[in-house]
Structure 1
Amino acid sequence: MRAALWLLALFGIAAAVALFAGNNQGTITVFWPPWRVDLSLNLVLLGLVALFVVLHLALRGLAALFSLPRQARQWRLQQKERAVHASLLDALAQLLAGRFSRAGKAAQAALAQEHVLEGLDAGLPQALQVRTMAHLLGAESAHALQDRASRDAHMQHALNESASAGAQLSPETREGVQLRAAHWALQDRDAPTALARLKELPHGAQRRTLALRLRLKAARMDRRTLEALETARLLAKHRAFSPTAAHSIIRGLATDLLSEAHDAGQLMRAWAELEAEEREMAEVAIHAAQRQVLLRGDLALARTWLLPVWERMVADPRSLNDGLRVKLARVLEAGLDSVDADWLARIEAAQRNNPRDPNLQYLAGMACMKRQLWGKAQQLLTQAGLGLQDIGLHRQAWQALARLAEERGDQETAAAAWKRAAGTDVSSQA
């Protein structure tokens, strides 16, 4: 369609020229004493057009001739710029391929070529970023080769270049250098340096997933459990982990935080640092109660911590595995001397609702023993001794039965119970 339109336009122009030139009888007389020259107007017009074309072509030719040196210089600079970029790409490719020595040499070559360009007063528009990336690749290669001195030198140069760039360089470049520096410090097992590097980041960059992951590793390595727990919470909110992994990490850190308490006051402060969801985790609440028992703290407070776990277990016995049920029974048994009527009623009700649970039988039996209900205690402990899988609880159940028999003066039954308890010890040692 376009060709047809052009063809029609050419025909139109030809027709217009033919009409103008064919009927044009005008002449131009040039007086050049002693001559007189008569020229057709059409010929003069064609001559003027031809003269214009010749002059235009001549000027274009002269301009091209005089621009040859400048074009040659631009071509040489362009080749040098391409060499800089080629060296950078080569350094990255060698680094990814695991050829760290060659990657370092390619990064040095890029720096040298960029320096030559700068000396010719023809620096790259992205010169600062090019130098920063070249130093970063050199530092990465030196780190892989365990050359810490060269790595630190490159890293400092990269930081200096990114700091002096101001508005000419995107902030992400400097942040990337700082994140890599923190990563290298972590690999060197230098957690304080890694945390210091991360704190130098802007506030927004500190909340990025990569920065939070590095902070979590560094805090755990430096045993800053509370800081690691706060970081894990942020990562969980950002969905950096699967729900199962996030639950496991937070649970482990909360348990570690409680384990660091060396007295009841520190334990209460650690418990206060936990969020409501973390306090309701069975592993965390049971561990907190165990620490309270170990530190000779307030056992009534420990039972308060255990109450949500207990209610969840009573409502759904499968919500706790066997190991946690045993731990729960042990920690509640440790506070039976000071247990109140409400907790005794809860224990008895739970045992009645689930009469075949040996852990509840043991706990209810020990509670009856503390209240001097000897007959019921003997019945429950005997049933528990026959069903308990935990060696420790099994031994303690038979030892309690032996003491009950001795209180009644039944030496034969007591001896048999002591024998069963001793048999448990032998089997556990075997």
Structure 2
Amino acid sequence: MMTIRGLIWLALLFAVAVIVATVGGFNGGQILLVMPPYRVDVSLNLFVVVLVVLFIVLYSVLRALRVVWSMPGLIGACRKHSKQNKANSSLRDAIGHLYAGRFSKAEKAARDALIVDDNKGAASLVGASAAHQLHEYARRDEWLAQVSGNDWQDARLMATADMRADGRDADGALIALTEMQATGGKRIHAQQIALRAQQQLKNWGEVLKLVRMLEKREALHPAIAVRLRQVAAENLLRDRRHNPDALMEFWQSLSPTERQSPRLADLAAELLIALDRRAEAKKIVEDALAHNWDARLLRRYSDCIVGGDAFPLIQRAESWQKEHTEDADLLFTLGRLCLHQQLWGKAQAFLEQALKLADNERLKIRAHLTLARLFEQLGEADKAAEHYRASVLAMNVV
């Protein structure tokens, strides 16, 4: 099917033929060529035609010579183009195999893509990722060493950090991140990798710092962030378990949300009680309960008696009872506090009511044991034995 361009050329040829035929019909000129002893007499029209034919022939010959002369270069360019296409095809195959989980094929295709220098950076990163997935760490590092060029260095360092963190080489990951950050810029992915590395090294201070930074940038799932902050804070509290001042200083450095966490508040109170700092423990538990009503904090509250006087705690617990009338854990705590204060009747009433409302076996066991101790102190051995027996039966059920 003839193209538009072909039709235009055909129309031009017809126009030229018409013009030549028209002009040639009115031209009666002659050309005399004399070269002794020869003499040639031709019409002007024939002479013009011969000149045009000679020009076309000469042009064609020169063009053919030029093509022949440039043939080696054309062949070389063709081979280079073919090589480039083959390398690019191999690189595309390598990426496809990598994400399809065919890591051996991905590494082989990446090696084929290296025949072109322009593919060296990308192919080496793909090969390194494939080798890492195959747990061939020495070969992975060889691939990474082949990544050259300033444009690829950030990618190399980020990939190195990510793969080393994934391979539990936290120190290697942090070294790569430090080298990358020296060039400037704080990338979210770099902070995520650093978080994994610091977790592996149990650098809980850095973990807490990184979690807060990633939370601000909304780069961490809220549930994961809460869990990591909690684990980091717990470990940092335990690291200060022998120094009450350092423990309280760190506790105050936590955010209000973290201090209101029942789990963290319970741990902080437990550590302070062990250090005989019950007043601070009492305040921590009360503040946390004001925001999050929690059974473990209620149980811890009965251990926060300051100076052997449980009356202030009993009064505070009874004020809570106005809003939590049938809370078994609160009643159990009141029973323990009254038992400590030797308020036998109130202690028995609270504990028996807690036992009646208890909805889990563990609380029932604690209530039976506490009632057993109460009756022992009252000299009622039969009732004490009855509750001890009931606690043992409940333990067997659990």
Same fold (TM over 0.5): yes
Deviates further, 237-246 or 357-366: 237-246
Task: Classify the secondary structure of the residue corresponding to 1:335.
Answer: coil
Give, in angstroms, the shift of residue 310 of structure 1: 1.4
The one-character-per-residue Cα deviations of 1:239-277 (angstroms, maximum 9, x if unpaired) are 444433433343333333333332223423442443333
Deviates further, 214-223 or 62-71: 214-223
2:234 aligns with 255
2:57 aligns with 54
Structure 1 unaligned spans of 5+: 115-123, 314-319
Amino acid at match of 1:32: V
Distance in 1 separating the partners of 2:16 and 2:108? 67
- The TM-score, its normalising length taken from structure 1, stands at 0.73
Deviates further, 391-400 or 51-60: 391-400
Task: Classify the secondary structure of the residue corresponding to 2:177.
Answer: helix
Task: Classify the secondary structure of the residue corresponding to 1:255.
Answer: helix
Question: Are 1:306 and 2:276 matched, yes or no?
Answer: no
Distance in 1 separating the partners of 2:349 and 2:33? 147
Question: Are 1:275 and 2:250 matched, yes or no?
Answer: no
Distance in 1 separating the partners of 2:350 and 2:370? 11
Q: CA RMSD in A?
A: 4.1
1:329 to 298, 320, 324: 298
Task: Classify the secondary structure of the residue corresponding to 1:411.
Answer: coil
Task: Classify the secondary structure of the residue corresponding to 2:240.
Answer: coil
Distance in 2 separating the partners of 1:7 and 1:281? 86
Question: Are 1:291 and 2:233 matched, yes or no?
Answer: no
1:80-229 correspondence runs (5 A): 80-89=83-92, 91-92=94-95, 95=98, 100=103, 103-111=106-114, 114=115, 124=116, 127=117, 129-155=118-144, 157-158=145-146, 161-162=147-148, 165-166=149-150, 170=151, 173-202=152-181, 207-209=187-189, 211-229=190-208
Q: Is the 8 A contact 2:328 2:358 kept in 1?
A: yes
Give, in angstroms, the shift of residue 66 of structure 1: 1.0
1:120 aligns with none
Give, in angstroms, the shift of residue 64 of structure 1: 0.8
Distance in 1 separating the partners of 2:363 and 2:74? 92
Task: Classify the secondary structure of the residue corresponding to 2:302.
Answer: helix
Deviates further, 85-94 or 254-263: 85-94
Amino acid at match of 1:200: E
Distance in 2 separating the partners of 1:381 and 1:332? 16
Give, in angstroms, the shift of residue 360 of structure 1: 1.5
Distance in 2 separating the partners of 1:33 and 1:178? 84
Amino acid at match of 1:268: M
1:17 to 19, 36, 49: 19
Amino acid at match of 2:34: W
Task: Classify the secondary structure of the residue corresponding to 1:353.
Answer: coil
The one-character-per-residue Cα deviations of 1:148-188 (angstroms, maximum 9, x if unpaired) are 43333333x23xx42xx23xxx2xx3333333333443344
1:73 aligns with 76
Amino acid at match of 1:153: E
Give, in angstroms, the shift of residue 101 of structure 1: 5.0
Distance in 1 separating the partners of 2:85 and 2:14? 50
Give, in angstroms, the shift of residue 190 of structure 1: 2.5
Percent identity of paired positions between Structure 1 and Structure 2 = 30
Amino acid at match of 1:53: I
Give, in angstroms, the shift of residue 299 of structure 1: 2.7
Deviates further, 183-192 or 31-40: 31-40
Give, in angstroms, the shift of residue 350 of structure 1: 1.2
1:347-366 correspondence runs (5 A): 347-366=317-336
- The TM-score, its normalising length taken from structure 2, stands at 0.78
Task: Classify the secondary structure of the residue corresponding to 1:334.
Answer: coil
Amino acid at match of 1:293: I
Distance in 2 separating the partners of 1:202 and 1:404? 65
Distance in 2 separating the partners of 1:10 and 1:107? 54
Distance 1:197 1:278, change over 3 A: same
Give, in angstroms, the shift of residue 307 of structure 1: 3.6
Distance 1:132 1:269, change over 3 A: farther
Structure 2 unaligned spans of 5+: none
Distance in 2 separating the partners of 1:394 and 1:370? 19
Distance 1:54 1:275, change over 3 A: farther
Q: Is the 8 A contact 1:326 1:390 kept in 2?
A: no
1:399-414 correspondence runs (5 A): 400-401=370-371, 411-412=379-380
Task: Classify the secondary structure of the residue corresponding to 1:366.
Answer: helix
Amino acid at match of 1:424: S
Give, in angstroms, the shift of residue 359 of structure 1: 1.3
Task: Classify the secondary structure of the residue corresponding to 2:322.
Answer: helix
Deviates further, 378-387 or 145-154: 145-154
Q: Is the 8 A contact 1:292 1:299 kept in 2?
A: yes
